[in-house]
Amino acid sequence: MKKVYLSVIGFALMCRLNVHAQASQDTLPRNPSVSLYTPVEKDTTHNTGYSPRALHIDEINLVSSYYWQNGDHSPVTGGIGIEKVTDISNGIDLKLVWGDPNYKKNSLTMGFGYDHHTSASQAYINLSGASRKGGDRIYPSLDWTTENVKKGSSFGIGAYYSGEYNYKSTGLDLHFSQKTADKNGEFSAKLQAYFDQVTLIYPAELIPNTTTTSTGGTTVITTASGTQTVLSNGQVVENHHKNIPSSARNTYTASLGYSQIISPRLQVMFMVDGVAQNGYLGLPFHRVYFADSSKAVVEKLPSSRYKLPVGLRANYFLGDNVIIRTYYRYYIDSWGIKSNTAGLEIPLKVTPFFSISPFYRYYDQSAAKYFAAYGVHTPADEYYTSNYAYSQFQSHFMGVGIRLAPPKGVFGWQNLHDLELRYGHYTQTTDLVSSVISLSLGFK
């Protein structure tokens, strides 16, 4: 399910980030050191435009999305099973802001998200006490950032948690930025670490030390994790399970970026990430079928992986009503995958308060060294997976967003600052298809 979550979260965040980006880019760039605070005691000595203010709620953001996908290459059944998934995601961010006379602007952002998904392939895991067709996930977050308006620098720390029935993740980050002397350029850096625990849920037939007894059409499966009683029609009627062990997975990321205003109409940003992973990097309920056997084995992948993505963004303001946003990323990793991503979005301001944004993204990747389709791997292979996320494919993601931001508030509600609705459709050359619709509300 991790790939699904990344798709849904990525789209939802794209909606929220595009709201902020468009809000700041609907007009030509201005001096970024000027505070947006309501004046309390204005600083006239240094002429920075900075105005301190007591703690207040700066904004509240709500994002909801619905995701649907289908395909026929589920890794749960060795790369040949149904991939039908639905996911409903809801998130809220609350941002508190306060300033002080020392040119410090502080913000505290608290977030909470909840997902519910259903997955047809999960029913084929068939394990003691964990076989299901759906699941839930929660993911709270907390971020504190302080900005020195006079120096054009900022520093912050963040903490994250994500929990579902088979995966727990805890994350921490440090982030820093520094504007150039003329305020037209900015360097940013972010260090992240995620410490995950993967619950070792195996398919029933692959759990070590498993015994199976059958009486009158009823099967009792006994494993190290507990027992499961299954009727002749496959219905699970009783479960007694112990705590299932887990295995660690750690991810460390260093992200560097530099943005520059080239001209009043052109802005660019360069990005590079270094990612290192170690620990258990597969999933124990992903089956692999060898060419010379009808029996399944659990996928086996290396215990380390290194990734290097390099990206470029460029925004061009084509008059007062049109922005051209472009994006390119090249990616390479130690498992042999290479990929290219190219994106284009063209927000068009129909009226001063209504805009429409068609977008398109193209992606292609080579296969990992350890991937092969159903029935192709052999026992001589050191590592093996039939997860099509590691296969060679191309994909297309296209859609449109609409945004409302009237000065008197959306639908006359002054506190509802903006509303954005986005729809995207995804196709992959492995026959995977998906759609996602997202609603984003911003309150001031």
Residue 22 has which token pair?
Answer: 């468009």
- pLDDT one digit per residue (tens) for the chain, 444 residues: 444 444 444 444 444 434 333 333 332 232 322 222 222 333 444 444 555 667 888 899 999 999 999 999 999 999 998 999 999 999 999 999 998 877 789 999 999 999 999 988 777 775 444 445 568 999 999 999 999 988 999 999 999 999 998 899 999 999 999 999 999 999 999 999 999 999 988 887 777 655 555 666 555 555 555 555 554 555 544 454 556 788 999 999 999 999 999 999 999 999 999 999 999 999 999 999 999 877 899 999 999 999 999 999 999 999 889 999 999 999 999 999 999 999 999 999 999 899 999 999 999 999 999 999 999 999 999 999 999 999 999 999 999 999 999 988 898 888 899 999 999 999 999 999 999 999 999 998
The answer for residues whose C-beta is within 8 angstroms of residue 350's C-beta and 6 or more apart is 321, 356
Distance CA 405, CA 332 (A): 40
Pick 2-201+244-443's CATH classification: 1.10.3720.10, 2.60.40.10, 1.20.1630.10, 2.40.160.40: 2.40.160.40
- The alpha carbon of residue 160 and the mean position of all alpha carbons in its chain are separated, in whole angstroms, by 13
Distance CA 145, CA 106 (A): 6
Q: Where are the domains of the chain?
A: 2-201+244-443
CB atoms within 10 A of CB 168: 15
Distance CA 127, CA 201 (A): 7
3-state SS track over the chain: CHHHHHHHHHHHHHHHHHHHHHHHHCCCCCCCCCCCCCCCCCCCCCCCCCCCCCCEEEEEEEEEEEEEEECCCEHHHCCCECCCEEEEEEEEEEEEEEEECCCEEEEEEEEEEEEEEEEHHHHHCCCCCCCCCEEEEECCEEEEEEEECCCCEEEEEEEEEEEECCEEEEEEEEEEEEECCCCCEEEEEEEEEEEEEEECCCCHHHCCCCEEEEECCEEEEEECCEEEEECCCCCEEEEEECCCCEEEEEEEEEEEEEEEECCCCEEEEEEEEEEEEEECCCCCCCEEECCCCCCEEECECCCEEEEEEEEEEEEEEECCCEEEEEEEEEEEECCCCEEEEEEEECCEEEECCEEEEEEEEEEEECCCCCECCCCCCCCCCCCEECCHHHCCEEEEEEEEEEEECCCCCECCECCEEEEEEEEEEEEECCCCEEEEEEEEEEEC
Are the C-beta atoms of 109 and 160 separated by less than 8 Å? no
pTM metric for this prediction: 0.81
Residue 356 has which token pair?
Answer: 């429409």
